[in-house]
């Protein structure tokens, strides 16, 4: 995803694959990786000396290397950061891992849920009296991981424009998601937060929650401030000075939530949209990705440029992201090997020999 962000905004991103050819990942073996769009695939056997020489030549011309492997993997291949930066002092090496380059867990396997758990943030998520709830694999893998890593790359590129020097980025998903949650963690003492599921933003408050509608869909309510809560109550025809005065009285929250649950089930999602649309009640429909394609607001903005394919964000007015992908997703590992090696100066006969010797793989 980190490479996808860079590719969407015009970078030439080359994915270095193994000659064994894993399409997608170990879970979806045989299925093309949707995050490979606009990238090219070079399949190289890095365990061979010739393969490592190809990699070194590629890196000597690169601006950035994204290393997604566990600490020590590059070093075992005789491709340490010091070695690579001696060849290319301007090279930025982004080492994206779950637990970081040092610490007790640095070589331990994990997934988003583990990194989220280790950040301290998973413990804050979920309803009262239930196990912690994780939001798919979005927070650690993508927000704290790839997006934070992309930010690190851009910061390093900005610094390089002044110093002319590259640097190594240690991008840990645990660190990234912990930093992402600064707003919550820095306010713990200020807010005097109670147990999970009893606070303003974790499902405890009736004015910041989701409610099922008559047709089995949902509405999201985020009327945090009194000025918005006032409008919310008026739109529900239940405004009273007493309810306003008890907005932040958590002893009244359970009863108020029950009242709202009954009220929202009286109308369909579409009917509630008619009531709340273009008001400051902070109430919106809970949309599926397919719904987003049809909703007037997101349709006007082009939030999705086609089914299940979000448009790149943010929107830059002078140098926007590419309107269309430079290329489709990678459907065969090594499908660009010949093209890339030709750009590196290898002849067709040399490339054919490398394929024969299993130094690289490429479609014939």
Neighbours of 163 (CB within 10 A): 9
List of residues 6+ apart from 220 with CB closer than 8 A? 209, 210, 283, 284, 285, 286
Backbone angles phi, psi at 53, to 5 degrees: -65, -40
> Does the annotation mark 295 as catalytic?
no
Catalytic annotation on 297?
Answer: no
Q: Which of 1, 29, 111, 352 is catalytic?
A: 111
How buried is residue 47: exposed, middle or buried, by Cβ count under 10 Å (0-12/13-18/19+)?
A: exposed
- How is residue 294 written in tokens? 């049809």
Closest CA to 163 of 93, 94, 89: 89
**Which of 8, 112, 141, 175 is an active site residue?**
141
For 252, the token pair is 């009244």
Tell me which residue of 166, 163, 131 sits closest to 152, measured CA to CA: 166
Supply 344's token pair: 């590196």
Question: CA geometry: angle at 86 spanning 85 and 92, to 5°?
Answer: 15
What is d(CA 63, CA 153) in angstroms, rounded to the nearest whole number? 10
Q: Which residues are catalytic?
A: 111, 141
């Amino acid at each position: 995803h980190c490479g996808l962000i860079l590719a969407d905004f015009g970078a030439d991103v080359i994915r270095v694959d193994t000659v064994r050819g894993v399409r997608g990942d170990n879970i979806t073996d045989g299925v093309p990786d949707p995050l490979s769009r606009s990238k090219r695939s070079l399949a190289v056997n890095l365990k061979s000396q010739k393969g490592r020489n190809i990699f070194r030549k590629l890196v000597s011309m690169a601006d950035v290397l994204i290393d997604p492997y566990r600490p020590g993997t590059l070093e075992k291949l005789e491709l340490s950061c010091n070695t690579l930066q001696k060849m290319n002092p301007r090279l930025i090496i982004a080492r994206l891992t779950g637990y970081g380059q040092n610490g007790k867990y640095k070589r331990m396997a994990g997934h988003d849920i583990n990194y989220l758990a280790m950040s301290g943030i998973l413990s804050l998520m979920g309803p009262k009296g239930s196990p912690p709830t994780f939001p798919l694999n979005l927070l650690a893998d993508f927000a704290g991981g790839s997006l934070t890593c992309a930010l690190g790359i851009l910061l390093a590129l900005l610094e390089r424009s002044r110093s002319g020097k590259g640097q190594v980025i240690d991008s840990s998903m645990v660190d990234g998601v912990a930093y992402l949650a600064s707003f919550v963690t820095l306010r713990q003492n200020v807010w005097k937060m109670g147990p999970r599921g009893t606070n303003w933003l974790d499902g405890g408050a009736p004015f910041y929650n989701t409610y099922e509608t008559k047709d089995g869909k949902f509405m999201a309510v985020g009327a945090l401030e009194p000025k918005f809560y006032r409008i919310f109550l008026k739109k529900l025809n239940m405004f009273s000075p007493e309810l306003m005065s008890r907005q932040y009285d958590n002893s009244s929250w359970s009863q108020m939530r029950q009242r709202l649950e009954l009220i929202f089930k009286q109308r369909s999602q579409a009917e509630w949209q008619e009531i709340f649309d273009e008001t400051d009640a902070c109430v919106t429909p809970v949309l599926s990705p397919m719904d987003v394609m049809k909703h007037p607001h997101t349709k006007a903005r082009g939030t999705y440029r086609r089914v299940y394919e979000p448009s790149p964000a943010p929107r830059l007015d002078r140098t926007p992201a590419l309107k269309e992908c430079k290329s489709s997703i990678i459907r065969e590992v090594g499908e660009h090997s010949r093209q890339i090696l030709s750009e590196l100066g290898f002849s067709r006969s040399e490339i054919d020999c490398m394929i024969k010797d299993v130094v690289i793989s490429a479609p014939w």
